[in-house]
Structure 1
Amino acid sequence: MITPLDIQNKEFNRSFRGYKESEVDQFLDEIIDDYERLYRENIELKDKILVLNEQIKQYNNLEETLKETLIVAQSTADEVISAAREKAEIIIEDAERTCKKLIDDANEEVINIRKEYDYLMKEIFIFKTRYKSFIEAQLMTLDEFYSKIEKKDVNMKELTHENDNKIEDAKEEEKITDEAEVEVEVEESNMDENLDDLGA
């Protein structure tokens, strides 16, 4: 590629009736200036293109890395979601089994409590019936006992009355006997007196 220095150092052969040398030199100077400017811009653009190509390469590498990272992240996310879903299903199944067991245990406990309640109510009814029968029997026994005591009390009163009557009768008989004895003694005394009178 021709450089500005090549243009500046270029020499032409002279010929008869050629171009005016001063005008050619002036025009070449202008061309050199423009070409030098374009040459520098071209070099700068090439450098920029190299930098941009390097950046594009880095961006492409970064894009590939990001794609791979996204693929790995997506795969990891899918695995995490799948594992979380499986874990959630296991937790839900465990919770359902636990709830079912708790409900079954509670129902069984209720059934046992009802059975125990029915048994206790039956035992209470039996005890109440037996105790009532026992109390009634004891009351009947007490009634019979007090009835016998009352009868004995009446009999005792009757016996006491009879004894009193017998005592009164005995006293009357004793009194009569005493009076009879007195009369006999009086009669004997009178008889003795009469005998004495007769003997005299």
Structure 2
Amino acid sequence: MPLSPLDIHNKEFGRRLRGYDEDEVNEFLDQIIKDYEAMIRENKDLQNQLLVIQEKLGHFTNIEETLSKTIIVAQEAADELKNNAKKEAQLIVKEAEKNADRIINESLSKSRKVALEVEELKKQAAIYRARFRALVETQLDLLNTDSWETLETREPRELEA
């Protein structure tokens, strides 16, 4: 067990003939007591500082662990968000491709339908022109026939009968 300042203060030395000077020894012991007390106070202060520093270290260690966990969680959340964004982007692209294919197919279908309608109209126009030409030619033939001359010479009553 270490000495205390009180142990040093109460220490008595035996007397002998031709011993040390008692006042000088007492002064030296008083100086040792003062120094020893100062060292004990300094040691206690250092121990208290050590405890405070250890508490701070523990606090900062907890903060570090919390920050590490937070960073890990944030990284995982960012990765998940990134993956979800990629999936959503792929779905959007697929949907856009489907819509584009649908629009193209509808356009081709309408184009074919219009082309068929145009062809049908061309056929009907050709038929109409052919009939109209035939009608006009028939009328011209009728005008060019001699029967017109006989119709001109007849009286109106003859025509009614």
TMscore range, shorter length: 0.7 to 0.9
The one-letter code of the counterpart of 2:57 is I
Q: Name the residue aligned to 1:79.
A: 80
Is 2:106 aligned against 1:105? Answer: yes
Closer, same or farther in 2 for the Cα pair 1:79/1:143, shift >3 Å?
same
Name the structure 2 match of 1:171: none
| TM alignment of 1:130-169, pairs within 5 A | 130-144=131-145, 148-149=148-149, 152=152
> What residue in structure 2 maps to residue 90 of structure 1?
91
Change in CA separation of 1:41 and 1:152 when aligned onto 2, cut-off 3 Å: same
Residue identity matched to 1:142: L
Question: Using the alignment, how far apart are the partners of 2:126 and 2:7 within structure 1?
Answer: 133
Q: Indicate whether 1:25 and 2:33 are aligned.
A: no
User: In 2 relative to 1, CA 108–152 (structure 1 residues): closer, same or farther, beyond 3 Å?
Assistant: closer
Query: Which residue does 1:120 correspond to in 2?
Result: 121
Q: What code does the residue aligned with 2:71 have?
A: L
Query: Is 1:61 the equivalent of 2:62?
Result: yes
In the aligned structure 1, how far is the partner of 2:100 from the partner of 2:113? 20
What's 1:11 paired with? 11
Aligned length: 153
Letter in 1 for 2:68: K
Q: Secondary structure at the match of 1:112?
A: helix
Percent identity of equivalent pairs: 35
Letter in 2 for 1:122: K
| Distance in 2 separating the partners of 1:128 and 1:2 | 137
Q: Which structure has more helix as a fraction of its residues?
A: 1
The one-letter code matched in structure 1 to 2:10 is K
Tell me by how many angstroms 1:132 deviates: 2.2
Aligned-partner residue type, residue 64 of structure 1:
E
Shift in Å, 1:3: 4.1
Larger radius of gyration: 1
Counterparts of 2:10 and 2:20, CA distance in 1:
16
Deviation at 1:134, TM superposition (A): 1.7
**Matched residues in 2 for 1:28 and 1:134: separation?**
153
Q: Deviation digits for residues 105-133 of structure 1, max 9, x if unmatched?
A: 11111111111111112211221222222
Q: Indicate the residue corresponding to 1:164 in structure 2.
A: none
Q: Kindly provide the CA deviation profile for residues 147-174 of structure 1, in whole angstroms up to 9, marking residues without a partner as x.
A: 7248846x99xxxxxxxxxxxxxxxxxx
Q: Distance in 2 between matches of 1:12 and 1:43?
A: 28
What is the CA deviation profile of residues 85-120 of structure 1, one whole-angstrom value per residue up to 9, with x for unaligned ones? 222222211111111111111111111111111111
CA–CA distance in structure 1, aligned partners of residues 46 and 135 of structure 2: 125
Instruction: Give the superposed CA RMSD.
Output: 2.8
- Unaligned 5+ runs, structure 1: 157-200
Structure-2-length-normalised TM-score: 0.76
- What are the Cα deviations for residues 35-92 of structure 1, in whole angstroms up to 9, with x where unaligned? 3332222112111111111122222222332333333333333322222222222221
Q: Between 86-95 and 10-19, report the one with greater CA deviation.
A: 10-19
